[in-house]
Amino acid sequence: MAKIPLIIDCDPGHDDAIALMLAASASDLFDIKAVTTVGGAQSVDKTYYNARRVLAAIGLDVPVARGAAQPMVRKALGGTEIVHGQSGLDGPALPEPEGEPCPLTAFELLCQVLEEVEEPVTICPTGPMTNMGILLAVRPDLKKKIKQFSIMGGGFYMGNWTAAAEFNILADPEAAKILFDSGIPIIMSGLDVTHKAYVTREENEVLRQNGNRCSVLAAELIDYFSRYHYEVEKLPGCTLHDPCAVAYLLAPEIFSGKPCHVEIDVDGTYTLGKTVVDWFGHTGKEKNVLVLYDVNRPAFVKLLTEQLARLR
Ligand code: BDR
Ligand code: CA
């Protein structure tokens, strides 16, 4: 079977790092063409450095490019230290990046990959969607080379950065709007599903006991990341937002979703950055998004634990 050509656009970020590991673990399914980075969980300098360190830990040799430092229109949100620490990836020790930095910007690398491929590519944005907004605005001719977006962002019932909005969308609502309005199929792993994709302390110990370097690293990332979920959000486990966007591609049968029309609110007083989901079809508009709302949690944890055991 032909592999799925994949690009991951991320802001590591603890759960971004685990999403990268999950994608790398499925080398039989994915052909990872590139990793691009964006400012979000921390500055783009830090997320770029973090992505390169994570890839060095995994032993994944694909081009990694530095993307947008600022949202398309607004100022960066900031305040993410409470979730990801000063480095954006506080907690575990990570190796230094390997190889030379990519001479291309994320925009240039995205264009290069998309120009070269014959088979349309799946893109997983797991951070603010600035790189995607710029790509789609500047090179709409490349839309035909994008099969689908499997994103982590948004939420039907809740926000996590304001009462209404999820961080990745709120961080650059104008870019998210360009992506959602693009006409390209979108699978949305929003908070409705990602809050169900959590790992308990006991399950994290099982992951650690895999014993391989990457499983231990993922468990250490979860040790740090879970503090926010337990102490601030009072959730029953560590919420693995970003891995959902990759896990859906690996095992769509463990997720439940509904095609809906979704708009991004770019000027609401109270709802800026909200993904407005037309669940009952009031607008009659095209169903542009598969909104994931549930996951078989034991199957998700099993998938993660078994896949990460395949890494070094
Ligand atoms: C999103 O925000 C970041 O903290 C996570 O990496 C995830 O992409 C969740 O709202
Ligand atoms: Ca992220």
Q: pLDDT tens digit string along 31-76?
A: 999 999 999 999 999 999 999 999 999 999 999 999 999 999 999 9
Q: Give 232's contacts (C-beta < 8 A, 6+ positions apart).
A: 82
Find the catalytic residue in 84, 241, 261, 282. Answer: 241
Residues 38 and 107 sit within 8 Å (Cβ to Cβ): no
Q: Is 152 in the pocket of ligand 1 (CB under 6 A)?
A: yes
Torsion, CA 248, CA 257, CA 276, CA 236, rounded to 10: -70
Domain with 81, as residue range(s), is 4-308
User: Span 23-32, mean pLDDT?
Assistant: 97
How far, in Å, from the CA of 243 to the mean position of ligand 1?
Answer: 10
| Sheet-wide strand order for 186-189 | 64-66, 30-37, 4-10, 121-125, 146-152, 186-189, 289-295, 255-264, 275-278
Reported as a single tens digit per residue, the pLDDT across 117-163 is 999 999 999 999 999 999 999 999 999 999 999 999 999 999 999 99
SS3 assignment, position 268: coil
Number of domains in the chain: 1
User: Percentage of the chain surpassing pLDDT 70?
Assistant: 100
Rounded-to-integer distance, Cα 38 and Cα 44, Å: 5
Rounded-to-integer distance, Cα 157 and Cα 205, Å: 31
Q: Is 261 a catalytic site residue?
A: no
What residue's CA is closest to ligand 1, atom 3?
41
Q: How far is CA 21 from CA 169, 226, 311, in A?
A: 23, 18, 8
What pLDDT is stored for residue 1 in this prediction? Answer: 81
Q: Is 240 in the pocket of ligand 1 (CB under 6 A)?
A: no
175: CATH:
3.90.245.10
